[in-house]
Amino acid sequence: MSENIWNYPDAAGYTPGADLTGYKVEASDGSIGKVDSHSRDVADQYIVVDTGVWIFGKEVLLPAGTITHVDPEAKTIRVARTKEEIKAAPEFDKNKHLDNPEYHQELGTHYSRGGGSGITTPTPPGTPGSPGTGPGERGGPTI
């Protein structure tokens, strides 16, 4: 059974009902900002991160399933994604995307491909390294 990218993993240590506003958010390779807002809705949990000077003037939405650890003492959240993976996510506009199911699906697909959470989606055919893309195989280069 795979986890839903839009729910907090059991091992993350999130306490239901906790206010995460203002918590510092750490990617696997450094700080990305602070929590501006978050959702507690079952199967639609996320944090909105104000990236400050890292991506000046931008906010990013991170599904709760990307979170690996919530530390209420240090007011820190760790996510299992790199800064580059987060920066490469579909652009977020709070006024357009917060309750937009299509955006959530697109974002969920983006983050489900990445490392650490155990949440994955199948690799699309034709993706380098997937079956059927080697020399002489259907869909791959012929030598």
Let me know: does 62 contact 114? Beta carbons within 8 Å: no
Give yes or no for a contact between 136 and 142, defined as CB atoms under 8 angstroms apart.
yes
Q: How confident is the model at residue 134 (pLDDT cuts 50, 70, 90)?
A: very low
What percentage of the chain has pLDDT greater than the value 90? 66
Tens digits of per-residue pLDDT, 3-52? 689 999 999 999 999 999 999 999 999 999 999 999 989 889 999 999 98
Report pLDDT for 101: 93
Q: How confident is the model at residue 112 (pLDDT cuts 50, 70, 90)?
A: confident
143 is written with which tokens? 């030598």
Check pLDDT > 90 for residue 61: yes
SS3 for 76-133 is EEEECCCHHHHHCCCCCCHHHHCCCHHHHHHHHHHHHCCCCCCCCCCCCCCCCCCCCC
Domains observed in the chain: 10-112 (3.90.50.10)
pLDDT (0 to 100) of residue 69: 98
Residue 31: the pLDDT is 95
* DSSP structure class, residue 24: E
pTM of the model: 0.77
